[in-house]
Amino acid sequence: MRISKIILGLVAAAALAGCMQTDGERALAGAAAGALVADATDNNVLTGAAIGAAGGAVCDDVGLCQRSY
């Protein structure tokens, strides 16, 4: 059950990342997803939010969440 929550959180974060326009929006979505995954895995929610925010902010810079038209 724990693994399915993690996978669901990661899929939701990836889906939302494509809809975001700015680094700030992606960082906010990443922070929310990171906090949810950390809570589901009984880890520190603040640390999960910080890691998620960092990942969301830089995903566009490394080419993970660019739109393909």
pLDDT in tens, 14-39: 666 556 778 888 888 889 888 888 88
Q: Tell me the whole-structure pTM to 2 decimals.
A: 0.67
Give the residue from 31, 20, 25 showing the smallest Cα distance to 54. Answer: 31
Q: What is the CA radius of gyration of the chain?
A: 12
> Is 64 inside any structural domain?
no
pLDDT at 55 over 90: no
The answer to whether position 47 is within a domain reads yes
pLDDT at 49: 92
Largest CA distance in the chain: 39
Residue 25 within a domain = yes
Q: Whole domain around residue 34: which residue ranges?
A: 2-58
Distance CA 38, CA 24 (A): 21
Domain membership of residue 49 (yes or no) is yes
Is 67 among the domain residues?
A: no
Overall number of domains in the chain: 1
Of 45, 30, 40, the closest CA to residue 6 belongs to 40
68 located within any domain: no
Helix or strand or coil: residue 9? helix
